[in-house]
Amino acid sequence: MQRRALVALAGAGLIGAVAAGGALATSTTPGQALPSMTGDLKRRAAAFPQPVRVGDLAGRAVLGPMEAQPLYGRVDAPPVVRGADGTLFLVVTRAGWLGLGAWMGLGGTPAAVPLDDAALLGEHIALVGLTRAELDALPSFRDAGAAPVPADTVIRMGIVGPFH
Amino acid sequence: MSATYATTQPAAPGRARRRMHPLPVRIMHWTNVVAMAIMIPSGWGIYNDSVIVHGLHFPEEVRLGAWAAPSLLWHFAGMWLLMANGLAYLAYGIATGRFRERLLPIRVADIVQTVRETLRLHLAHEDLTTYNAVQKLLYIVVILAGISQVVTGLAIWKPVQFSGLVSLLGGFQTARLLHFIGMAVIVGFVVVHVALALLVPRTLAAMVTGGPELAARRDAR
Amino acid sequence: MIRSPFRPQAVPDAGILDNHRALVRQVTRRGMFRRGISLGALTMLTGCNLSDDASVDAALRAVSAFNDKVQALLFDPNKLAPTYPESMVLKPPRFNAYYPIDKVRPVDGATWKLEVSGRVSDRAPWTTARLAALPQTDMVIRHVCVEGWDYIGEWSGPTLKSFLHSVGADLNARYVAFHTADDYPSSIDMATALHPQTLLALTYARETLPDPYGYPVRLRTSTKLGYKNPKWITAIEVTNDYPGGFWEKSGFGWFAGI
């Protein structure tokens, strides 16, 4: 929590500096994935799936697969649900306007992301199978009809390295 | 021209003339400009490999170094210049009494008054040799930010050898964040500092020529 | 445009880029120094012509070599890196290499042999069983990447020191060099090689090292940046001749102590 406050402070300081000086630092356009990414990345991430405890996923940042690592959302609790047909979904609270939804724990509606559209990026999650627009277009997820997977269950997820 | 400088008086007989910015200060100021021009954009290049503020990323045009390795080379070369110059500046400022003379005392009432005057667009800058309360505060903040950058930089560079320092700062990632905040503070200062220097070009000239001569030391304060 | 040291933007095939990496780097570096000229004050005050990328690069690398010496002086062979409770271990750990995850080529542990060469008295190759028979050390340490990210991991295996003793290595030699199945040469100083938290890691979080993290054996040293921890090690050499390393050729510092 303290770290988030510090991040907010840093952001505010930097935004202040930029506003005063005029675009010394700029952000890359969010949602602009590297061209080869979407389909390719999902295939790559699936190459060496690793075991992960479901409970360990709660609260993780969900990031865009690009150098600026934009925050798309955060993993909800319970983190994983099983659909009626047995498919696993990662429940992600979307960042929404200015990223505040997932950042400060405000607003942000949850969406169910097919597990293989997400991959482990260290302590974060990278969205490898959906663009931000596709994530934001997903219907708001309600847990009716989907069973939460117990926290101690070990599932397998794809992994990726840093994006540059 | 010199008549407008309120504090300008003939130098005391037998004493060397004191300039507003003595030569060592001018040399250290411009050396610091070089150090900043190396450390800040190379730091942005290093930052890019693992962002701290998600979504914030520095475009190639403003970075020093096309990718992490040259940025790191610049940063770890520039650090010596920054440290040597910074230590010399601190030693000089303390030993000659310049810090005490220019930056102290600083009173809350004075800051409030200066801010109020500034908002009314009454900025008194006829006398370059005396800093107003806000200037004093900004200089103190940026000096502290510079010291903080060296300390947090050491913690990030050697988190095992200086593990005690890292714990004191709240952990490795917090040290990185503090290093980033220190950069933001310094960049913010530079923006204001350069903007004001361009608005009052005499200040810029003074940092080259030394500026007006100073009155005798106001030790009484 | 090369965007990263660790994740070259590998389109359409990483192999093509690998073969021309040095050239690509050189080209981008040149662009960088041209932009550097715009820092007029810098050019003026340093006396260097920044457009001459070779001389600037050489100067920067000379400072880097000097920094390596400073780092060796700062290195305290008796200072242990902080350790953490097992509950803080990130499972699974972060993957990283100079190529994307799908280019990982798993090593067959059954046929794998670790070659030993250089200033050692016993050059007999090692098997995983032999490494596992050495006394095992378990440590929960922070992995710090040059990129700025970190995580806490639990590694175990024999100390490199015990291995070097077993092969009768010349402990006064300057370097221990590594060769790997993914063509990632690396090397460290002897003082670090003998540090009690420098392991030939065989497990992560008490499980056999998974393929993407260097099975069957990788180096894990608590006192260096991540890129000094080669994975999928196939040969260890004790030498007095500077062996360099994969990223060091591109400008990363060699000592890389933390």
In C, minimum Cα distance to A57 occurs at C91
Interface check for B17 against chain A (CB to CB < 8 A): the answer is no
Q: What is the pLDDT of residues C200-238, one digit of tens each?
A: 999 999 999 999 999 999 999 999 999 999 999 999 999
User: What does the DSSP 8-state code read for residue A56?
Assistant: G
Judged by average pLDDT, the poorest of B15-19, C98-102, C134-138 is B15-19
Q: Are residues C95 and A160, on separate chains, in Cβ contact within 8 Å? A: yes
- Tell me: do A20 and A75 sit in the same domain: no
Which residues fall within 8 angstroms of residue C72, CB to CB, at 6 or more apart?
Answer: C189, C191, C255, C257
Q: Which of B36, B54, B142 to mutate to test the interface with A (most CBs of A within 10 A)?
A: B54
User: What does the DSSP 8-state code read for residue A66?
Assistant: S
- Tell me: do A120 and A83 sit in the same domain: yes
- The per-residue b/e assignment along C42-61, b for 16 or more CB within 10 angstroms, e otherwise, is bbeebeeebeebeebbeebe
pLDDT at A24: 35
Q: With contacts defined as CB-CB under 8 Å, which chain C residues touch B163? A: 79, 81-82
Reduced 3-state DSSP string for chain C = CCCCCCCCCCCCCHHHHHHCHHHHHHHHHHHHHHHHHCCHHHHHHHCCCCCCHHHHHHHHHHHHHHHHHHHHHHCCCCCCCCCCCHHHCCCCCCCCCCCCHHHCCCCCCCCCCEEEEECCCCCCCECHHHHHHCCCEEEEEEEECCCCCEEEEEEEECEHHHHHHHCCCCCCCCEEEEEECCCCCEEEEHHHHCCCCEEEECEECCEECCHHHCCCCEEEECCECHHHCCCCEEEEEEECCCCCCCCHHHCCCCCCEC
Interface check for B61 against chain A (CB to CB < 8 A): the answer is no
- Tell me: do A117 and A151 sit in the same domain: yes
- Tell me: do A2 and A48 sit in the same domain: no
Taking the C-alpha atoms of residue B79 and residue A129, their distance in angstroms, rounded to an integer, is 42
Domain span at residue B175? 97-216
Q: Which of B56, B67, B174, B186 to mutate to test the interface with A (most CBs of A within 10 A)?
A: B56
Give φ, ψ of A85 to 5 degrees. -90, 5
- Tell me: do B47 and B124 sit in the same domain: no
Contact between B74 and C39 (Cβ < 8 Å):
no
Q: Is A124 helix (H, G, I), strand (E, B) or coil?
A: strand
Q: Is B44 helix (H, G, I), strand (E, B) or coil?
A: helix
pLDDT at C50: 54
Q: Are residues A36 and C212, on separate chains, in Cβ contact within 8 Å? A: no
Angle at A143 between CA A137 and CA A147, to 5 degrees: 120
The letter for the amino acid at C240 is N
Query: Could you count the other beta carbons within 10 Å of the beta carbon of residue C1?
Result: 10
The CATH code of the domain that includes B148 is 1.20.950.20
Tokens of C192: 């670090």
pLDDT confidence bin for C160, thresholds 50/70/90: very high
- Give B74 to chain C, closest Cα distance, Å: 7
In B, minimum Cα distance to A6 occurs at B177
- Tell me the ipTM for this assembly: 0.85
Q: Are residues A61 and B54, on separate chains, in Cβ contact within 8 Å? A: yes
pLDDT at A23: 35
The letter for the amino acid at B190 is V
- Tell me: do A14 and A90 sit in the same domain: no
- Which residue in the block uniquely carries the two structure tokens 């798993």? C106
Tell me which residue in C35, C42, C253 faces B34 most closely, judged by beta carbons.
Answer: C42
Number of domains in chain B: 2
Residue B70 located in a structural domain: yes
**What percentage of chain C exceeds 70 in pLDDT?**
80
Taking the C-alpha atoms of residue C87 and residue C100, their distance in angstroms, rounded to an integer, is 29
Interface check for A47 against chain C (CB to CB < 8 A): the answer is yes
In B, minimum Cα distance to C46 occurs at B34
Q: Is B94 helix (H, G, I), strand (E, B) or coil?
A: helix
Crossing angle (nearest 10°) for helices B23-47 and B68-95: 150
Domain span at residue A74? 31-159
Residue A116 located in a structural domain: yes
- Give A124 to chain B, closest Cα distance, Å: 12
The CATH code of the domain that includes A69 is 2.30.30.240
Tokens of B125: 């800058």
* Cα–Cα distance list, C253 to A19, C55, C186 (Å): 36, 18, 12
Taking the C-alpha atoms of residue C254 and residue B24, their distance in angstroms, rounded to an integer, is 36
Q: Are residues C11 and A50, on separate chains, in Cβ contact within 8 Å? A: no
Tell me which residue in B50, B66, B77 faces C29 most closely, judged by beta carbons.
Answer: B66
Residue B2 located in a structural domain: no
- Tell me: do B101 and B159 sit in the same domain: yes
Interface check for A50 against chain C (CB to CB < 8 A): the answer is yes
Element (H, E) at B59: none
| Domains recognised in chain C with CATH numbers | 14-74 (no CATH), 86-250 (3.90.420.10)
Q: What is the pLDDT of residues A106-141, one digit of tens each?
A: 557 899 999 999 999 999 999 999 999 999 899 888
User: What does the DSSP 8-state code read for residue B211?
Assistant: -
In A, minimum Cα distance to C5 occurs at A164
Q: With contacts defined as CB-CB under 8 Å, which chain C residues touch B64? A: 32, 36, 39
- Tell me: do B107 and B211 sit in the same domain: yes
Interface check for A1 against chain B (CB to CB < 8 A): the answer is no
Residue B46 located in a structural domain: yes
Pairing mode of beta strands C115-118, A154-159: unpaired
pLDDT at A117: 97
Give contacts of B 44-63 with C, CB under 8 A.
46-47, 49-50, 52, 60-61
Neighbours, chain A (3 or more CB pairs < 8 A): B, C
- Tell me: do B116 and B73 sit in the same domain: no
Number of domains in chain A: 2
- Tell me: do A60 and A131 sit in the same domain: yes
Neighbours, chain B (3 or more CB pairs < 8 A): A, C
Interface check for A154 against chain B (CB to CB < 8 A): the answer is no
Interface check for A61 against chain B (CB to CB < 8 A): the answer is yes
Q: Are residues C45 and B61, on separate chains, in Cβ contact within 8 Å? A: no
Q: Are residues C39 and B47, on separate chains, in Cβ contact within 8 Å? A: no
Give contacts of A 85-104 with B, CB under 8 A.
99
Q: What is the pLDDT of residues C5-38, one digit of tens each?
A: 444 444 444 444 444 444 444 444 444 444 444 4
Taking the C-alpha atoms of residue B1 and residue A20, their distance in angstroms, rounded to an integer, is 32
Taking the C-alpha atoms of residue B141 and residue B112, their distance in angstroms, rounded to an integer, is 17
- Tell me: do B53 and B139 sit in the same domain: no
Element (H, E) at A82: strand A71-82
Angle at C64 between CA C58 and CA C65, to 5 degrees: 90
pLDDT at A132: 92
Residue A164 located in a structural domain: no
Tell me which residue in C12, C102, C149 faces A44 most closely, judged by beta carbons.
Answer: C102
Element (H, E) at B32: helix B23-47
Q: What is the pLDDT of residues B94-109, one digit of tens each?
A: 999 999 988 888 888 8
Long-range interactions of C195-198: CB distance < 8 A, separation 24+: C195/C77, C195/C161, C195/C221, C195/C222, C195/C223, C196/C80, C196/C137, C196/C159, C196/C161, C197/C80, C197/C81, C197/C139, C197/C141, C197/C221, C197/C222, C197/C223, C198/C159, C198/C160, C198/C161, C198/C222, C198/C223
**For chain C, what is the largest distance between any 2 Cα atoms, rounded to a whole number of angstroms?**
62
Interface check for B150 against chain A (CB to CB < 8 A): the answer is no
Residue B210 located in a structural domain: yes
Task: Beginning with the edge strand found earlier in the chain, give each strand of the sheet holding C233-239 in spatial order.
Answer: C115-118, C233-239, C175-180, C186-189
- Tell me: do A73 and A125 sit in the same domain: yes
Q: Are residues C93 and A122, on separate chains, in Cβ contact within 8 Å? A: yes
Crossing angle (nearest 10°) for helices B23-47 and B172-199: 130
Tell me which residue in A11, A13, A28 faces B188 most closely, judged by beta carbons.
Answer: A13
Interface check for A16 against chain B (CB to CB < 8 A): the answer is yes
- Strands of B38-161, DSSP E: none
- Tell me: do A73 and A17 sit in the same domain: no
Which residues fall within 8 angstroms of residue C106, CB to CB, at 6 or more apart?
Answer: C211, C215
pLDDT confidence bin for A144, thresholds 50/70/90: low
User: What does the DSSP 8-state code read for residue A116?
Assistant: G
- Tell me: do A21 and A51 sit in the same domain: no
Give φ, ψ of A45 to 5 degrees. -60, -25
Residue B55 located in a structural domain: yes
- Tell me: do A70 and A15 sit in the same domain: no
Q: What is the pLDDT of residues A19-56, one digit of tens each?
A: 333 333 333 333 344 444 457 899 999 999 999 999 99
Q: From the centroid of its chain, how far is CA A26? A: 22
pLDDT at B130: 79
Tokens of B66: 């096309």
- Where chain B has pLDDT below 50, the residues are 1-14, 219-221
The letter for the amino acid at B221 is R
